[in-house]
Chain A
Amino acid sequence: MITLALDASTYVGTVAVLDGRTVVAAREAAMRGREAERLMPALVDALTAAGVEVRDIARVVCGDGPGSFTSLRIAASIAKGIATGVGAELKRVSSLALVAAGGELPAGGYLAALDALRGEAYFQRVRVHPGGEVALESGFYLGPLAAVAAASRESAAGVIAPRETLDLIVAAAGGSLDGAVPMAPHARGVARLEGALEAADLASWEPRYGRLAEAQVKWEAEHGRPLPDA
Chain B
Amino acid sequence: MRVLGIETSCDETSAAVVDGTGDEAALQSLVILSQDVHRVFGGVVPEIASRAHLTSVQPVVARALADAGVPLDSVDAVAVTHGPGLVGALLVGVSFGKALAHALGVPLAGVHHMEGHLFATSLEDRAAAPPFTALLVSGGHTLLLDVEAWGRYRLLGRTRDDAAGEAFDKVAKLLDLPYPGGPHVERLAAAAGPGAGDGLRFTRPMLRRDQRPDDPDYYDFSFSGLKTAVLNAVRAPRDGAPVPRAAVARAFQDALVGSLVEKTARAVVAHGRTRVVLGGGVAGNRALVAAMRDRLAPHGVTVYAPGARLATDNAAMIARAGLFHLERGERAGLDLNAFATLSIPGLIAA
Contacts and interface: CB of A to CB of B under 8 A. Distances in A.
Q: Is B a genuine binding partner of A? A: yes
Interface of A: 33-41, 43-44, 54-55, 69-70, 73-74, 76-82, 84-86, 202-206, 209, 213-216, 219, 227-230
Contacts of A230: 37, 48
Contact of A40 (B45, B59, B93, B98): B98
B47 interface: yes
Contacts of A229: 35-37
B36 to A, nearest CB: 5
Interface in B178-237: none
A41 to B, nearest CB: 5
Contact of B336 (A34, A37, A84, A86): A37
B102 A228 contact: no
Contacts of A78: 95-96, 98-99
Contacts of B102: 40, 44, 54, 81-82, 85
A228 B37 CA distance: 7
Interface string B74-118: 000000000000011001111111111111110000000000000
B55 A84 contact: no
A37 B335 contact: yes
13 contacts: A39-B95, A44-B334, A54-B105, A69-B88, A78-B98, A81-B96, A84-B61, A85-B101, A86-B103, A206-B54, A213-B48, A214-B47, A230-B37
A43 B99 CA distance: 10
A209 B40 CA distance: 22
B335 A209 contact: no
B88 A70 contact: yes
Contact of B57 (A55, A80, A215, A219): A80
A203 B91 CA distance: 17
Given A34-B337, A70-B50, A84-B100, 18 more contacts: A33-B337, A36-B336, A37-B94, A37-B338, A40-B335, A41-B333, A44-B334, A54-B102, A54-B105, A74-B95, A77-B96, A78-B95, A82-B102, A84-B58, A84-B62, A84-B96, A215-B48, A227-B37
Contacts of A76: 54
10 closest pairs, A vs B, by CB?
A85-B103, A81-B99, A77-B95, A213-B47, A36-B335, A229-B37, A81-B100, A81-B96, A215-B45, A77-B96
Interface of B: 35-37, 40-41, 45, 47-48, 50-51, 54-55, 57-59, 61-62, 72, 87-88, 91-105, 333-338
Given A41-B335, A202-B58, A204-B55, A73 B50 contact: yes
B92 A73 contact: yes
Contacts of A36: 335-337
Nearest to A35: B337
Contacts of A54: 102-103, 105
Contacts of A38: 335
Nearest to A218: B41
A229 B337 CA distance: 29
Contact of A219 (B41, B61, B87, B338): B41
Nearest to A79: B99
B95 A37 contact: yes
